[in-house]
Structure 1
Amino acid sequence: MTKPPPVFDPAEASESFFRHGHTGWLGMKYSAHGDDWVELELPWREDLLGDPERGVLASGPIISLMDMASGMSIWQVKQQFALIATLDLRVDYQRPTRERSSVWGRVECYRTTKSASFVRGIAHDGNLEDPVAHVAGVFMTIGKYRNPADVPESVQAGSAAGTGDE
């Protein structure tokens, strides 16, 4: 008899996810979660600046933050880990980040089907009422791994190029 996969816990999973690959290099951190949402932090770092004169984070790392928070919100709703692919992630920037500020990405998964999950959220720099960006996305479940412990180290770490390919 096969035992069921463990229930997904964003705080616990982040300890493993953020040690490897792109998210590890960016220095992402777990912040908080609820039944259908996850919030992650992207700490300010000088080498992640989009405009060195102004000291604000570049858009690329913020997109990566929102993509990861999206995936984790999906796993939170489904209560289990499975490999997913980003089909569409729209990011509407409202304003630049504050100078030398971390950015938090809070994403909720508001609908799931057998193969697709839908998310929406905001990136903010400390004030949920004054977002840096709004996001909306669609993700497809593609995974053969139902238990994070079954994912090979090579998949967790990603390739040398940081693509996540096996």
Structure 2
Amino acid sequence: MQESFLTTILPQLAAGAAHTGALGFAFDGLHDGEPRIRVPWREDLVGDPDSGVFAGGLVTTLLDHIGGLAVWTALDTFQPIATLDLRVDYMRAARPRQDLLAQGLCYRLTPTIAFVRAWAFEDDPADPVAAAQSAYILNQTREPSTRAAA
């Protein structure tokens, strides 16, 4: 992976857009080669004031965004992409007043579509709050490749 992409561009892609900045998204590095984003808990991002857990829409946005970062990580460069399909399975309620993390893996690239799996969690990726399966359109064609899923 290009060092400048990892240290400069990928963190900007994680948190540099208006909506990601407003939501507090922060690049949390690569973990086993997979990008991770952290969202610090904030009261204004809570969906249910009685429970104190993040809103479901924030979780969906987080999973879609980490999916894009997973694609750019697999490509090792930025290029325009668009979400083609996103399925989110909510597995349990998030823990109250805790940061949320998301991590994603682009497990297959075709010349026009990237396929991603992602999950949101507090501490342990094996205990997800939600998981996503998604596909992204690549706006520049490329040679097909595969990467073994974790």
TM-score range with shorter-chain normalisation? 0.7 to 0.9
Identity over aligned pairs, percent: 36
| Higher strand fraction (1 or 2) | 2
Deviation at 1:8, TM superposition (A): 3.0
Does residue 115 of structure 2 align to residue 114 of structure 1?
no
State the partner residue of 2:146.
none
Following superposition of structure 1 onto structure 2, how do residues 2-151 of structure 1 map, counting pairs within 5 Å? 8-9=5-6, 11-17=7-13, 18-34=15-31, 37-142=34-139
Residues 135 and 105 (structure 1), Cα distance of their counterparts in 2 relative to 1, 3 Å cut: same
Give the deviation of 1:121 after TM superposition: 1.7
**Superposition TM-score, scaled by structure 1 size:** 0.76
Structure 1 residue matching 2:58: 3-state secondary structure: helix
Query: CA deviation digits over 1:118-155, x for unaligned, max 9?
Result: 00021101122211011100000126xxxxxxxxxxxx
Mind listing any 5+ residue stretches in structure 1 that lack a counterpart?
144-166
SS in 2 for 1:122: strand
Amino acid of the structure 2 residue aligned with 1:16: Q
Amino acid at match of 1:134: A
SS in 2 for 1:118: strand
C-alpha separation in 1, matches of 2:107 and 2:33: 7
Which structure has the bigger radius of gyration?
1
Q: Say how many residue pairs are matched.
A: 138
Gaps of at least 5 residues in structure 2 are 141-150
TM-score w.r.t. the length of structure 2 is: 0.84
Query: Cα–Cα, structure 1 residues 114 and 24, in superposed 2: closer, same or farther, change >3 Å?
Result: same
Provide closer, same or farther for how the CA distance between residues 35 and 96 of structure 1 changes in structure 2, counting only shifts above 3 A.
Answer: closer
8 A Cα contact 1:36 1:109, kept in partner: no
Supply the distance in 2 between the matched residues of 1:41 and 1:122 (Cα, whole angstroms). Answer: 12
- Aligned equivalents of 2:16, 2:114: Cα separation in 1: 26
